[in-house]
Amino acid sequence: MKTGRFAAQMVSRTYSGVLDPAIVDATADVLFGVFAKGAMREVGGIGRHAAGKTGTTDQYTAAWFAGFTPDLAGAVSGRSGSTR
């Protein structure tokens, strides 16, 4: 089994007024679907309001998930050694 390595380290920052709240709400509502009826529906939620997006490469050799809650954002990717 291969072990992963950190690609980035968490940095705590505070921002305000970066985006229009109506745009943020509309985008989050669309991305909430990944937990409600999309690829993450089997997870059954994480106990808080969360949204995200999944994806794969053309040959399905790599997959990724990026998600966020009101307090935290994160992303993960994985790759297979096979092209099948």
pLDDT tens digit sequence for 14-59 = 777 788 889 988 988 888 887 777 666 666 667 777 888 889 888 8
What's the pLDDT at 3? 63
H-helix or E-strand spanning residue 31:
helix 21-36
Which neighbouring-strand residues pair with 78?
A: 63
Q: How confident is the model at residue 75 (pLDDT cuts 50, 70, 90)?
A: very high
Does pLDDT of 69 surpass 80? Answer: yes
Beta strands in 1-84 (DSSP E): 51-56, 62-68, 73-79
What's the pLDDT at 25? 87
Domain boundaries, the chain: 21-79
Tokens 């999944």 -> residue? 54
